[in-house]
Structure 1
């Protein structure tokens, strides 16, 4: 079993037979002086009964009249649970989705022929992500101690929603390509998460330590964004035409797996707040209208859609159709809105 795990590649076949990735500029030259694991302190949580634990606009179930009518204590409790979910999501994402992929890259078992510096930088990403997982878990433990309000249990034994969604995605791939979905999902999550983290550190309603913790994470993820954009530039040309036709149409599902709300988790929390099954169904459906969710995902993924366009992925008709059906095509990203060519993140 261990020998098999050691040899197993994310993308099957001899890497040497695939086109080599050569266009890589490292953003990790100053990693020792920039990485949060090297220079940032442990963030210490202090409870603030008058403050918000999470932006309500990002958890719209708390804005629904059926929830708001139950009082500030219920809303505050649900926002606290949403903060726990954010921290748990971070820990699981790093441990289950990103660290294994970065480890494979660092050890030359991605299935891609990558530059040596790219493999070396993957080690730094492993270290970064292990720290993100650790400080998120530690922070959640601090919150439980300081507030006296533990995470609402039991936790979903399947973990965050992206876990089951990623399994479903894997089963849609031809058997010989299974494994590449983890590489694809790492590209998707690492290029999307930097945008998700950008607003929270500026929200003065949140506890200072929460904003500092998210800022630490965001600064590291800016470098990871650039790195995994480079991975995509290496991956797509390395796929054979038949592999591209198999993988391309599944990219929107990978984006959905990362960005779509975790409806089951929200329902569990609303039940804990005393709502009935009918009330929960109403709140979830009205807080996250399908058309609005679709639009929000498209807007959040606009730059990533550009990256896939950039490497030629949407040149395949089935892939383009899949992006169109998901509503991902035709949404301008921030650089296009400003009338300039997109630039890489340099944080």
Structure 2
């Protein structure tokens, strides 16, 4: 599958991992008795359906409930994604089964990512449990299955590329920059445990971003021309499926408040319109798209048109 054998350069960001990684340097995040549990669990402006006119904007209990469910869903998504996608691919890089020629230090850095992401998964679930127990707001069921199934469906017609697609999945997601990691830590309206958790997560993710940006450049350099063209067409749906918001959790939360099926359908349609969703995806994927531009992905035959047709690049 891979044409070259040049080693990937060392990522300097991991030299101080033993001193700086969250799993090494930070204590367990705990809700202290004096913490204000009545603060929001998530920034309200990041909950797309919260201000819809069909919802009673004067009902503070309703707003708090929907915001809590959005926070729970994000924490549960993080718990699943870190293990099911990031650890799955990082393990292959770490244990030498990725198919790429990698220096021992690079593989060790990938093992550090495996440790980081396992810890991120653990504390995401831990924080959710603490919030539920302290607030008394129960968490609705969350099904990660549709997301991972959709992500794994990209390239499924070429089963020989399964391992490659898994590597591309983690490259895409770990080079994205969502507003969540930057907006939550400074937001004093949000409960402290969420702010601290996201702040710590963002620091680790900065290292991962550096690693996977370099990893993709190395991966791309090892692909033969026909496979480069194939990869260029795998990437647009991977970006979209990584960032397109899941509407089922929002729908379930709205239905659980007693809102009717027709009203919920209208709220979802308005709050998650295709135009609004694509604008958010382009914003979050800006650095990833620049990385693709830099290495020449968009120069592959038909690639720029594919990214444009998917709404990732404006015509």
Pick the TM interval, shorter chain: over 0.9
Residue equivalent to 2:150: 165
CA contact (8 A) 1:201 1:212 kept: yes
What per-residue deviation string (whole Å, max 9, x for no partner) do you get for residues 84-112 of structure 1? Answer: 11110111111100111111111111111
What per-residue deviation string (whole Å, max 9, x for no partner) do you get for residues 222-245 of structure 1? Answer: 000000001101111211211122
Residue equivalent to 2:191: 207
SS at match of 1:60: coil
**Aligned equivalents of 2:24 and 2:85: distance in 1?**
23
What per-residue deviation string (whole Å, max 9, x for no partner) do you get for residues 108-133 of structure 1? Answer: 11111122211111111111111111
Residue 306 of structure 1 and its aligned partner are, at CA, apart by 0.6
CA contact (8 A) 2:178 2:284 kept: no
**Does 2:39 correspond to 1:51?**
yes
Of 96, 99, 103, the residue aligned with 2:91 is 103
Change (3 A) 1:49 1:145: closer
Residue equivalent to 1:35: 21
Higher relative contact order, structure no. (Cα contacts within 8 Å, ≥ 6 residues apart): 2
Residue equivalent to 1:60: 48
Residue 168 of structure 1 and its aligned partner are, at CA, apart by 2.1
Change (3 A) 1:310 1:288: same
Residue equivalent to 1:123: 111
Unaligned stretches of 5+ residues in structure 2:
none
SS at match of 1:198: helix
**Aligned equivalents of 1:88 and 1:208: distance in 2?**
18
CA contact (8 A) 1:194 1:222 kept: no
CA contact (8 A) 1:249 1:320 kept: no
SS at match of 2:188: coil
Residue 194 of structure 1 and its aligned partner are, at CA, apart by 6.4
Residue equivalent to 1:311: 295
**Aligned equivalents of 2:241 and 2:180: distance in 1?**
15
SS at match of 2:49: helix
Change (3 A) 1:181 1:70: farther
**Aligned equivalents of 1:288 and 1:30: distance in 2?**
41
Change (3 A) 1:84 1:278: same
**Does 2:131 correspond to 1:143?**
yes
Residue 175 of structure 1 and its aligned partner are, at CA, apart by 2.4
Residue equivalent to 2:168: 184
**Does 2:275 correspond to 1:291?**
yes
**Aligned equivalents of 1:102 and 1:316: distance in 2?**
27
Change (3 A) 1:71 1:195: closer
Of 65, 74, 77, the residue aligned with 1:89 is 77
**Aligned equivalents of 1:160 and 1:280: distance in 2?**
22
Change (3 A) 1:49 1:142: closer
**Aligned equivalents of 1:206 and 1:228: distance in 2?**
30
Change (3 A) 1:195 1:20: farther
Of 235, 257, 269, the residue aligned with 2:241 is 257
SS at match of 2:176: helix
CA contact (8 A) 2:98 2:163 kept: no
Change (3 A) 1:170 1:92: farther
Residue 28 of structure 1 and its aligned partner are, at CA, apart by 0.8
Change (3 A) 1:21 1:310: farther
Segment of structure 1 superposing worse, 70-79 or 32-41:
70-79
CA contact (8 A) 1:26 1:118 kept: no
CA contact (8 A) 2:116 2:204 kept: yes
Give the TM-score, by structure 1 length.
Answer: 0.85
Residue 161 of structure 1 and its aligned partner are, at CA, apart by 4.7
Of 170, 195, 204, the residue aligned with 1:220 is 204
**Aligned equivalents of 2:235 and 2:31: distance in 1?**
38
